[in-house]
Amino acid sequence: MKEWLAAGERGLFIRSYIVLAGGLLLVAILLDLGFGALQARQERAADPWLESTLRLMESNLAAVPAVRRAERADELGQQLGLGLALLETGDIAGAPLGDKPSELVDDAGKTYYLWNAPAAGGVLRLGPFEPPADGWLARLLPVVFYGSILLIVGLWLRPLLNDLRMLTEASQKFASDYREPLDTARRTTQVRSLARNLDDMSARVSQLIQSQKEMTAALSHEMRTPLARVRFAVAVLEGEVDERLHLQLRAVSNDVQQIDDLISDMLDYARLDHPGLRMDCVSVELAPWLHQVLASCPPHDREVRVQRSDIESLWMEPRLMELALSNLLANALRYARRNVSIEVERTHGMCRLVVEDDGEGIPEAHRASVFHAFTRLDTSRNRETGGFGLGLAIVARVAMLHRGRVSAGSSARLGGARLTLEWPDR
């Protein structure tokens, strides 16, 4: 039962159960009250028979002498198997007497009927009548009835909740690996039409995503071959042309390099989004890893300072985290004026890489959108501020793969941008 009522479905089950069971119980209670009212009305319809019986007894007693009427009342009661007594009017002072039989109930729950019988010279008392005894079956029937309603509603909801749980698990699996479309229609019982539609939709989505990724990867790889030929031709021509054409060839070479960088970023981003990517996190010695990342940076004239206090190692996937830090550094070097700072922290079970620069910073309105793919705050394409809008998107993807996050802010120390990548330690 605990596994069946998963956390995400418990609220739906409780709400559905309360609405259905509560509605059925309310209907059952109203019907019960209605039948009870009808039954009471039918019982009141038997009053004329009681009145007729008492009138006959009064007539019978009126036919005998007054001194024998009490004795005759006892005889009639014995003959009919009922308690019948003729009382003096003064013995029942305060009792409501009229032209109809009056009903009295004593402390023991026994019922008496009083009839004003002037012809008999007094008041007839019929009874006592024992209250109806409720057996254990009569007391058990309402409990069984209402309990069966609750049980039937629960049994009806259970397969529906099972179908929803199975659809939820299948959808989560498809979200993590788009290569396997849903196959839920044959395993559902209550929502088969919905499951069939979801299966068809997931199959189309899977096909579209795989086609798009295959096309992106194929184009990226195929474009590098002609780019390599163009780069080789430019290198050959640079040694054979005059200075005027040499500058133009240098510009062509720079454009080719930018296209090659874009292809690399696209391949990195597509690779990080592949469901088959393995995360092999290990404890990495910090000093040599930072040295390797800094050594891979392109030549620059900024001053990069590293602050890591006494931290010796970090828990991470070294190859992916190197890609993330390289992109953070590339972004900082692109916009910094003179100084870039790298700070490594580990506090409260979280690892942090903080990269700051002394550039213009990131406007507060754009600090969330800069991590979306192909988002560029500067639309220029020159070498100083150029970019393709994929670097920080790659950083965000690496952070998500490490179950962490990346955020942008303002550097209080350098005055520019402050980008923080944090993830759980182990």
**Does a structural domain hold residue 155?**
no
Euclidean distance between CA atoms 401 and 272, whole angstroms: 8
Helix residue spans in 45-122 (DSSP H): 47-62, 69-80
Predicted confidence (pLDDT) at residue 7 exceeds the cutoff of 60: no
Residue with tokens 């979280």: 350
Q: Are 190 and 159 in contact (CB under 8 A)?
A: yes
Euclidean distance between CA atoms 408 and 410, whole angstroms: 7
List, for residues 80-138, the tens digit of each pLDDT value.
888 888 887 766 665 556 677 878 777 777 888 888 888 888 888 888 877 766 666 66
Euclidean distance between CA atoms 99 and 93, whole angstroms: 17
Continuous segment of H or E residues that includes residue 418: strand 417-424
Q: Give the total number of structural domains in the chain.
A: 3
Indicate the residue among 105, 129, 153 that finishes a domain: 129
**Does a structural domain hold residue 338?**
yes
pTM of the entire predicted model? 0.53
Q: Are 396 and 374 in contact (CB under 8 A)?
A: no
Predicted confidence (pLDDT) at residue 6 exceeds the cutoff of 60: no
Nearest-CA neighbor of 156 among 13, 5, 295, 9?
Answer: 13
List, for residues 274-305, the tens digit of each pLDDT value.
666 777 888 989 888 998 888 888 888 888 89
For residues 272 and 289, membership in a common domain is answered with no
Query: Which domain covers residue 203, as residue numbers?
Result: 177-277
Q: Both tokens of residue 156? A: 């009806």
Euclidean distance between CA atoms 151 and 163, whole angstroms: 19
For residues 182 and 102, membership in a common domain is answered with no
For residues 234 and 287, membership in a common domain is answered with no
The DSSP letter of residue 301 is -
Indicate the residue among 242, 277, 312 that finishes a domain: 277
Among 175-189, 351-365, 388-402, 406-420, whose mean pLDDT is lowest? 175-189
